[in-house]
Structure 1
Amino acid sequence: MDSAELLDLLGNANRRRILRLLAHKPCYVTEISEYIGVSPKAVIDHLERLDEAGLVESSVDDQRRKYFRIARNLRLEVTVSPYTFGTKSGYPGSSIDVTTCRHVSIDAEVEAGSDAGDLAAELDRLQDLDRELSLAQRWVHGRLSEVMEQLTDQFEGEDARLLGDVVSALATRSGTVEEVSRRVEAPPEVVEEALERLADEGVAEREGDEWTLPD
C-alpha cells in the first residue's frame, strides 16, 4: 500500500484505537464497539477500510461470531525536518540479511531455544535492541538536519537550499538531471544549473549522462 494512503487511513483516531486493541487480542465487532465507544455500524465501516488495506482479517468461531485480527506486520516511517518530508512503509521480516548493513552491528546469529525461559530472554534482548535502534534513528535524524544546515550554509544566494538538496540527492545515489530533478522536486533546467554550479565548486561531477559526488 502507498505510504500516503496508509497515512490517510491511520489518520483516523478510532481506526488507530481498533488496531491498538487488535494488537492485544482478536475481537468481534461488539467488543470493539464497547472498547472504543462508537456504534457497531461505525466499527464495521472502519474494519472494512482496514480490511481493504490488508491490515486486518477475519475468521468465524464455532458460535459463528466473526473475529478480527491484525493480518500482517507493517512498519510506517514519517520523517519531518526543515530539509525533508517523506514517508516509507515496508514489511518487516526476520529473514532480512542485516549482515549487509555497513553502519549497523547486530549479532544476527543468536537463536532462541525452544523453552519459555530461552524465548523470554530472546524477547528481552530484541526489545532492548529495538529501543537502541529507535534512539539511533532519532540521533541520525538530528544529525542529518544539522549536516544539511551546515551544507546549505556553504553556499550563497537564494538557491542555497536547492544546492543542498541536490547534494543530498546525489549522496543517496548518482543520477541524470531528470532523475535528480524528480528527487528534489524541481524543474530539470533549474537542477541542471545547480549541478553545473556544484561542478564548478568541485562538489559534483558528471560521468556521461549521470551526475555524482566526487570520490
Structure 2
Amino acid sequence: MSSGREKRRILSSFFLALIFSFLGGRTADAQVAIPPRYDGFLYKGHYPGPDSIIIDAFFDPVCPDSRDSWPPLKEALKHYSHRVSLFVHPFPLPYHDNAYVTCRALHIANKLNASTTYPLLELFFKHQEKYYNKPTHTKSRALVVDHVVKLMLKVVGNSSLSAVESAFEDRQTDLTTRISFKYGCSRGVTGTPFFFVNGFPLPDSGSALDYNKWRSIIDPLLGEHKGKKEDTLHFFL
C-alpha cells in the first residue's frame, strides 16, 4: 500500500471515529432512523436466493481504487450469473471533494430508472479524473452539479433534465445519500473499495481484487472445488 493511500486511510478512520463518537453520545430518539429498504443498488436484478453468495461493495464514484476494482468484479459476476448477488453501496470519502454529489447522482438515477444506475456508475468511473479535487478546485459547487447533471443525461435521457435538476433540490435525495454513508460507517467501512461476502469483511479492503482472487474466494463457497472450503474459512479469519 502506498504512503499516500495509507494517509488517506488514517484520515478516513479518524473522521469515522469522530462520527461514531458523536453518534454514541446521542439519545436513542436522535439515532439514525431505519430506512424502509435495504441500502444499496442491486446488480441486474439478481435478488439473492436461499443458496446465493451475497457481495456488498462500498464504492466511491471518484475513487481510483473503486474504479479499478469494478472490471474484475463485473467479470466474476458474469461468470457466476445468478449464483452471486451484488449490492453496491455509495460511500463518499470525505477527502474527495465531489464524492457526495456523485453518490447523490447515483441515488437520483436509481430513483428515476433503476436500469441506469450502473451505467451511470461506469460513466463516472470513465470520466472520474474530471471530478478530482485539483481540476475542480476553482469551480463552484453549483458548476460541478451542473456538470454532473449533464453527464447524467447521457444515461437517463435529455427528457429527464427537469426531473434530475429537481431531484438535486429534493431534501429526500440528500437524506438517502446520507443514510448510505451512515450505513457504511455502521459496518466499519473506512475506505473504498470495501467488500463483504455473506456479511463478512474481506481483508485488504481499500484496493482492487483481481478476477482470480474473486474466483478463489467464491468457488469454494459454492462447492466447486471440493476440499477447499476450509481454506476459504482461513481466508476470512
Name the TM-score class by shorter chain: under 0.3
Higher helix residue share: 2
Higher strand residue share: 1
Q: TM-score, normalised by structure 2?
A: 0.23
Larger Rg: 1
